[in-house]
Amino acid sequence: MFLADVPGPRRVIATHERFTGKVWDVASDEVDLGDDRVVTRDYLRHTGAVVIVALDDDGRVYLVRQYRHPVGAECWEPPAGLLDMAGEAPVDAARRELFEEADLTASVWHTLADYYPSGGGTSEAVRVFLARGIAAVPEDRRHVREDEEADMLGEWVDLDAAVAAVLDGRIHASSAAVGLLAAARSRDAGFASLRAADAPWQRPEATRLIR
């Protein structure tokens, strides 16, 4: 059996705007499921995001430890960021986030995995990139980080050790779970699973751009 998600949005009879926030909005849709079945579904509208698994020649990945307020924890995770700039291609957003969060650049980019973090509650779609050919950004060109990112730590970690931390329940970010396990699986298969950086993406249309 060939497994693949099937695009098939249902007709929305009405939309009620419940909350407008700094970054995301919350809406309620009245959805026609057919056969006289109409349900109301609340969800968070999300611009989408990119995650970058930066892998060096020694088999290490670069992880950052960042404070995540909703879960009250400093989480180890790959560099990541929102698709919140109008007209910016996802791979260009990934390049920007790697530069800003990790002080790194990469010369080789591939799509590693795509996922919906919580398809029952948010329209967020995430693309994970594998970045290789890593180089450090000179200190005089580095991005000045602010807010939660100002105290962010970064470390190179052996990929297998990072995967073990996911499986042991020591790190919890969905970007780490998906990105690190996908990277290890792809590496073990000779990277045959990698797709082009601009591969087709089944992504809900972005509904909010904040920049």
CB count within 10 Å of CB 80 equals: 24
CA distances 7 to 54, 67, 96, 109, 204, Å, are 31, 35, 30, 27, 10
The per-residue pLDDT for range 35-75, each reduced to its tens digit, is 999 999 999 999 999 999 999 999 999 999 999 999 999 99
Task: Check residue 24 and give its pLDDT.
Answer: 86
Structure-token match 């751009």, residue found:
209
What global pTM score does this model have? 0.92
Res 129: pLDDT:
98
* 211 pLDDT higher than 50: no
Q: What is the pLDDT of residue 12?
A: 92
Q: Which CATH class is domain 49-196?
A: alpha beta
- % of the chain residues with pLDDT over 90: 82
d(CA 150, CA 190): 37
Strands 153-158 and 60-68: what pairing? antiparallel
Domain boundaries, the chain: 11-45, 49-196
pLDDT at 101: 93
Cβ neighbour number for residue 127 with a 10 Å cutoff: 23
**What pLDDT is attached to residue 80?**
97
- Active site members: 149
Rounded distance between C-alpha atoms, residue 34 and residue 8, angstroms? 13
Task: Give the pLDDT confidence of 5-40 residue by residue, as tens digits.
Answer: 998 888 999 999 999 988 889 999 999 999 999 999
Instruction: Say yes or no to pLDDT of 206 above 90.
Output: no
CA dihedral 22, 23, 27, 32 (to 10 degrees): 160
Say what the pLDDT of residue 204 is. Answer: 86
